[in-house]
């Protein structure tokens, strides 16, 4: 078999790259050893958001009386039904990728793909048969999996990773979540909301440690208010799984503490899927678990590209998609703009949600900028008050000299739907006064963006 392009991996980087290549008239095949859509659609972004939506509905129902709605007979969370709905959503999305592949005449080759040369892939099927596939160009998009710590080996039953957390056979009474990045925080919120006693352990001084410090502190306050036990500056030393409950030994600033839980969820990051790809045999340069590429995703072997979690940069689905499109357009000779890694939004779908782009206040100062900072609390927002969602704020950071937006940090209800405005603003080098003079609709949560910009320049109206 011979194609213009073969993509190894069908996640949000791989399938988007394949479709874009087909649009540009290329003959395309995708090699996939599991479900179409990769981890994101099947075991990551999409099914977790389905779980979180169920948690949100349950949370609303518990507080229905506050909105003047009476629910008789009590409210319960049906854990098995919640999980079943999540799996149904994921299955539907995977079928959607099948449809898109057929529509774009993309051939799917089932099996594990390995580089056998600069233009050759060896595909090994589940039955052991191998097929050689030729391609003018190859894109590696093999993604990542849960990182495993030596003192916390995942057994799939008592110590689990995110995949098992999506499909537990029954709801645990108690859980220790280790790691408070997006994955850990989202699962901590989900399980706590439906009634599991949750302890969240973070090695660094703040939860969601990549976010602006004020955002981290706000989420910690919200989590504690919701009943989550938050342990920052703490390290899991060992997990004893020999008894019915796990005994988790945690080193804290005050000494060692043992926490008992039914389940320990390891959410301490991801490891890239590079094993068995044939990188070293073919001569593709890689180090520290990452494939080295140029600004278009091209490796040191011109016909081979790599995108997504396996290359340096943020391990985010939307980044992989953007990299996939850039790589394909470079292959097609369209001279695309490289991905702007300074304007990548990040989102965490807890309650309150978190969304950010650009520099934190601390990073901006460390980079030598003199900054103007504007902050507007949702407690002063009419829409937030009407929605019963007053936790959080919008924080904007501007370069004091030129007025350019350097960073935006939002925490509150629906802020993951608001961040795109600020990504566009940052890409266009928008200034604070341009945001202030852009009339925002009333009443909306998005007014807080305009107000935060105004606060940075001493022009805020509503606080």
Percent of the chain scored above 70 by pLDDT?
Answer: 100
DSSP H helices, 120-194, are: 162-166, 182-193
CB 314 within 8 A of CB 144: no
Token couple for 171 = 């709801």
Is residue 452 within 8 A of residue 361, CB to CB? The reply is no
Give bridge partners of residue 396 from the DSSP assignment.
374, 408
Does residue 250 surpass a pLDDT of 90? yes
And the tokens for 150? Answer: 């030596």
Answer yes or no: 442 catalytic. Answer: yes
Q: Quick check: 416 and 435 in contact, CB under 8 A?
A: no
What's the average model confidence in pLDDT over 49-77? Answer: 92
pLDDT in tens, 144-153: 998 888 889 9
The verdict on domain 159-268 having CATH code 3.40.50.300 is no
Residue 264 pLDDT greater than 90, yes or no = yes
Rounded to 10 degrees, what is the CA torsion of 5, 10, 11, 17? 20
Write down the pLDDT at residue 239: 96
Under DSSP, the state recorded for 185 is: H
Q: What is the pLDDT of residue 40?
A: 86
Task: Give dist(CA 166, CA 47) in Å, integer.
Answer: 7
> Which residue bears the tokens 């039953």?
157
DSSP string of 31-65? EESS-TTHHHHHHSHHHHHHHHHHHHHHHHHHTGG
Residue 225's contacts (CB-CB under 8 Å, 6 or more residues apart) are: none
CATH pick for 352-456 out of 3.30.390.30, 3.40.50.300, 3.40.50.720, 3.40.50.150? 3.30.390.30
What is the pLDDT, as a whole number, of residue 269? 87
Domain ranges of the chain: 2-146+271-341, 159-268, 352-456
Give the active site residue among 409, 433, 442, 462: 442
∠ Cα 58 62 65 (to 5°): 135
| The pLDDT value given to residue 249 | 97
| pLDDT per position as a tens digit, 312-336 | 999 999 999 999 999 999 999 999 9
The mean per-residue pLDDT over the stretch 125-129 comes to 91
Give mean pLDDT, residues 133-137.
Answer: 98
* Identical topology for domains 2-146+271-341 and 352-456: no
Across 79-102, b (16+ Cβ under 10 Å) vs e yields beebbebbeebbeebbeebeebbe
Q: What is the average pLDDT value for the chain, to the nearest integer?
A: 96
pLDDT of residue 142: 97
Q: Is 411 helix (H, G, I), strand (E, B) or coil?
A: strand
Fold of 2-146+271-341: FAD/NAD(P)-binding domain (3.50.50)
Residue 72: pLDDT band by 50, 70, 90 thresholds?
A: confident
């Amino acid at each position: 078999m011979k194609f213009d392009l073969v993509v190894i991996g069908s996640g949000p980087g791989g399938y988007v790259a394949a479709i874009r290549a087909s649009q540009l008239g290329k003959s395309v095949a995708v090699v996939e050893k599991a479900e179409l859509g990769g981890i994101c659609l099947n075991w990551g972004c999409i099914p977790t958001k389905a779980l979180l939506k169920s948690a949100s509905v349950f949370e609303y129902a518990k507080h229905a009386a506050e909105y003047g709605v009476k629910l008789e007979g009590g409210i319960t969370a049906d854990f098995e039904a919640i999980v079943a709905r999540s799996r149904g959503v994921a299955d539907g999305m995977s079928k959607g990728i099948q449809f898109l592949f057929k529509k774009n005449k993309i051939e799917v080759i089932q099996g594990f793909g390995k580089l056998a040369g600069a233009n050759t892939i060896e595909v090994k099927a589940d039955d052991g048969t191998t097929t050689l596939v030729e391609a003018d160009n190859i894109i590696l998009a093999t993604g990542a999996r849960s990182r495993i710590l030596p003192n916390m080996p995942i057994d799939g039953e008592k110590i689990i990773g995110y995949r098992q957390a999506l499909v537990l056979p029954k709801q645990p009474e108690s859980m220790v979540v280790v790691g408070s990045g997006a994955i850990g925080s989202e699962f901590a919120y989900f399980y706590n909301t439906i009634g599991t006693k949750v302890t969240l352990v973070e090695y660094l001084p703040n939860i969601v440690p990549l976010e602006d410090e004020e955002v981290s502190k706000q989420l910690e306050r919200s989590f504690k208010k919701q009943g989550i036990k938050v342990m920052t500056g703490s390290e899991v030393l060992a997990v004893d799984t020999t008894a019915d409950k796990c005994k988790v030994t945690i080193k804290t600033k005050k000494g060692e503490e043992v926490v008992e839980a039914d389940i320990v969820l390891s959410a301490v990051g991801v490891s890239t899927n590079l094993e068995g790809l044939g990188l070293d045999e073919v001569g593709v340069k890689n180090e520290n678990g990452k494939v080295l590429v140029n600004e278009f995703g091209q490796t040191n072997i011109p016909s081979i590209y790599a995108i997504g979690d396996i290359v340096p940069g943020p391990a985010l689905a939307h980044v992989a998609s953007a990299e996939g499109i850039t790589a394909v357009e470079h292959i097609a000779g369209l001279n695309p703009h490289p991905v702007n890694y300074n304007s990548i939004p990040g989102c965490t779908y807890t309650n309150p949600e978190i969304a950010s782009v650009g520099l934190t206040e601390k990073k901006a100062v460390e980079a030598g900028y003199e900054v103007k900072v504007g902050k507007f609390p949702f407690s002063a927002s009419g829409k937030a008050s009407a929605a019963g969602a007053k936790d959080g704020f919008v924080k904007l950071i501007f370069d004091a000299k030129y007025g350019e937006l350097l960073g935006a940090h939002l925490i509150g209800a629906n802020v993951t739907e608001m961040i795109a405005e600020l990504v566009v603003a940052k890409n266009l080098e928008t200034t604070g006064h341009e945001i202030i003079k852009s009339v925002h609709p009333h009443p909306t949560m998005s007014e807080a963006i305009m107000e935060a910009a105004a606060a940075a320049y001493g022009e805020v109206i509503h606080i």
